[in-house]
A = this chain, B = another copy of it.
Amino acid sequence: MEKSLAQLTEYLEGELVGDPATKIRGVAAIEEAGKGELSFLANPKYAHLLKTTSASAVIVARETSAEGIKTSLIKHGNPYFAFAKAVELFAGARKISPEGVHGTAVLGEGVKLERGVHVGPQVVVENGVRLGRDSAVLAGSFIGADSSLGEGCLVYPNVTIRENVQIGKNVIIHSGAVIGSDGFGYAREKGVHQKIPQIGGVKIEDEVEIGANVTIDRAALGTTRIGKGTKIDNLVQIGHNVDIGKRCIIVAQVGIGGSTKIGDDSIIAGQAGLVGHLNIGKKVVIGAQSGVTKDIPDQTTAFGFPAREIRKARRIEAHLSRLDLYVQRLKEVERKLKEMGRTSP
């Protein structure tokens, strides 16, 4: 496919600085793009690349100056989003897997496959599973009894979805993820750990994306829930009975302890850990590697170990950087006092 910059700018609803007749036939990273390719610049840290890129055009933020830049620019209010649309246009949003069940797949009784469903090689689907319209379950994945996937789901190879897991529409689950493993619950009695049977379920709402090798435990009782539009990065651990709101972002290697609730539109940065039974509000931001041990109210940014409100945390950090100086100053004060003691009558 080939589009002129005029056509492309109109499609992306941007503003063109450059030659409208220039032809674009693909997308590429700004360092690698050549003639006929479109790139983008979202991070101002890389602005100098605009002067050296060989791309025929670059999508940039509206406020970007075109001075001294030879390549054409498509200015946009949300360059990252505009680029996502361009990538979809040229590279295709998603390869569609053809309808059908591979001959090596094993399907249980009462499995309901809606129209357009693809079941790949070596897949195992247990009794009573429902796979929604146009969903694809790729090679080697497992779907346990009575689980269900809504319309348009994409399950990558070697995923494990245990029994009684309810998954909404357009959910993407990456390889190695495990959904519905037993929660970690024991009662200590007579010196040994007695397992608490974990008989609850998991509910994954529409438009959720779950990263590679993520683990989401089933509830002891009730339901572990991931709210609509929430995106979870790789190697995240979500304990039993956790309840995550809508449109949250959970970055790689985060761990969330059992029964903790997280409000809508919250962001948890990489490697942060939250103990169990917390109430985290809406629009909360938790910094990378933070250790959260207390409830956090709505619209709060928290940070550090233990996590504190960001201004408090930053102040402690600044003081830590100056500790050396403070200790010097304390010694100086002690010296002066000693001197005064000596000279005073």
Contact = CB atoms under 8 A, between A and B. Distances in A.
Interface in A301-322: 305-306, 308, 315-317, 319-321
Range class of the A interface residue count: 35 or more
Given A122-B124, A156-B162, A235-B235, A273 B253 contact: yes
Interface in A126-148: 138-140, 142, 144
Interface in A212-227: 212-213, 215, 217, 219-222
Nearest to A265: B191
A288 interface: yes
A186 B253 contact: no
B327 A319 contact: yes
17 contacts: A29-B200, A80-B187, A81-B194, A91-B199, A102-B106, A157-B162, A176-B178, A211-B215, A212-B217, A213-B213, A235-B235, A237-B252, A237-B270, A289-B291, A305-B305, A316-B321, A336-B337
Interface of A: 27-29, 31-32, 39, 43, 45, 78, 80-81, 83-84, 87-88, 91-94, 102, 104, 106, 120-122, 124, 138-140, 142, 144, 156-158, 160, 162, 172, 174-176, 178, 181-182, 184, 186-189, 191-197, 199-200, 207, 209, 211-213, 215, 217, 219-222, 229, 231, 233-235, 237, 239, 241, 247, 249, 251-253, 255, 257, 270-271, 273, 275, 277, 288-289, 291, 293, 305-306, 308, 315-317, 319-321, 323-324, 326-327, 329-330, 333-334, 336-337, 340-341, 344
